[in-house]
Structure 1
Amino acid sequence: MTPIQPCLWFDDNAREAMEYYVSVFPNSRIERIDEYPDESLDEHFTGMSGKVLNGEFTLNGVRFTCLDGGPLFRFNESISFIVWCADQDEIDFYWSKLSHVPESEQCGWCKDRFGVSWQVIPRIMGDLTSTPAQVQAFMQQKKIVIAELENA
């Protein structure tokens, strides 16, 4: 059976994003980078020489593909990646690495410096939002704080 693999379209910093992501997540590595050919070969490649035509990388065992495609498309919050965390320390760690756009933070959702949206969520999220008071507290949070939800 063929696995489904996410592909991320970056403007022109796919290599930088791959390098950053593999430094953040354990069990991660860049698998390969294919670069655009010399731009003198075709006018469609103007300014793309050395940029990522196809990049493959693994984040904590999950395989991704990416490319530098120019500014035609942008990331938005309709697609996000969930980082399931064991405890508050993990939440704090990933939040510090992935949250770079404060105005995008809400309910464990954040946006990184490349514009990719992440949900940094505790594995016990279902237990932490089982009462109306907990849900109300959750809706007020940016980064999830487990103790606040437990005490709600």
Structure 2
Amino acid sequence: MKERTASVKDITMQKIKTYLWFENQAEEAATFYTSLFPNSEIVHVQRAGEAAMTVTFTLAGQEHIALNGGPQFTFNEAISLYVDCETQEEVDELWAKLADGGEEGPCGWLKDRYGLSWQIIPKALPELMSTSDPAAAERVMKAMFGMKKISVQGLLDAAAS
């Protein structure tokens, strides 16, 4: 695991951060997540003895904090991390890695092996749903409702039909 030495200034530069409560897998999850996205790293691990208490990490330059807080709270779909994917290949790769050991959901949503919800969304989806043709946008939305992992080609076909 790559961890850089961080100063207090480094850790507090981003004003608003996502704080994620894990039972006891904060460091494992942060290591996994940072392996998936460019410009991602473990910034700081606060330990109590050998155990990680909090892990500050960046995903694509955005800072997050993971806590080993115990079993009192678990993740649910009320919050998710939205990934704006450039290509179908990026959707496919992230979907496969994040869904491994997790659970696929509808409309580009999944839960990873830690129970955290993600939306893996190609840029084409909001673009096609924002078209000036309301019938095409409705077809795209209907096609999306029938998908788990979003297929850009499926969206394009729906828009054109």
Instruction: Report the TM-score when normalising by structure 1.
Output: 0.85
Which residues in structure 2 correspond to 1:31-46 (within 5 Å)? 31-37=43-49
Question: CA, structure 1 residues 76+138, in 2 after alignment: closer, same or farther (shift >3 Å)?
Answer: same
Separation in 1, partners of 2:48, 2:30: 17
CA, structure 1 residues 2+94, in 2 after alignment: closer, same or farther (shift >3 Å)? closer
Query: Which stretch shifts more, 81-90 or 118-127?
Result: 118-127
1:53 aligned onto 2:53? yes
CA deviations on 1:79-120 (whole Å, 9 max, x unpaired) are 000110011011001101111433x41100111111110000
Q: Deviations over 1:6-34 (max 9, x none)?
A: 01110011111111111111111101111
Residue 133 of structure 1: CA displacement? 1.5
User: What residue is the counterpart of 1:24 in the other structure?
Assistant: 36
Q: What SS class does the counterpart of residue 82 from structure 1 fall into?
A: strand
Match of 1:151, SS state, is helix
C-alpha distance in 2 between matches for 1:16 and 1:109: 22
Contact 1:128–1:146 (8 Å) recurs in 2: no
Query: Which amino acid is 1:110 matched to?
Result: L
The alignment's C-alpha RMSD in Å is: 1.5
Displacement, 1:76? 0.5
Question: How far does residue 134 in structure 1 lie from its aligned partner after superposition?
Answer: 1.4
Is 1:142 the counterpart of 2:148? The answer is: yes
- State the percentage of identical aligned residues: 40
Given that 2:46 and 2:53 are in contact with CA atoms closer than 8 Å, whether structure 1 keeps it comes out as: yes
Residue 81 (structure 2) aligns with: 81
SS of aligned partner of 1:18 = helix
Q: For residues 35 and 11 of structure 1, what CA distance do their matches in structure 2 show? A: 15
**What TM-score, normalized by structure 2, do the two folds share?**
0.81
- 1:93-108 aligned within 5 A: 93-100=93-100, 101-102=102-103, 104-108=104-108
CA distance in 2, matches of 1:36, 1:53: 6
Give how far 1:123 is off. 1.6
Q: Which runs of 5+ in 1 are unaligned?
A: 38-49
Residue segments in structure 2 that go unaligned for 5+ positions in a row: 1-12, 132-136
The count of residues paired between Structure 1 and Structure 2 equals 139
Alignment deviations for residues 51-85 of structure 1 (CA, whole Å, 9 cap, x no partner): 22221011110001111011000000110001100
- RCO greater where, 1 or 2, for CA within 8 Å and sep 6 or more? 1
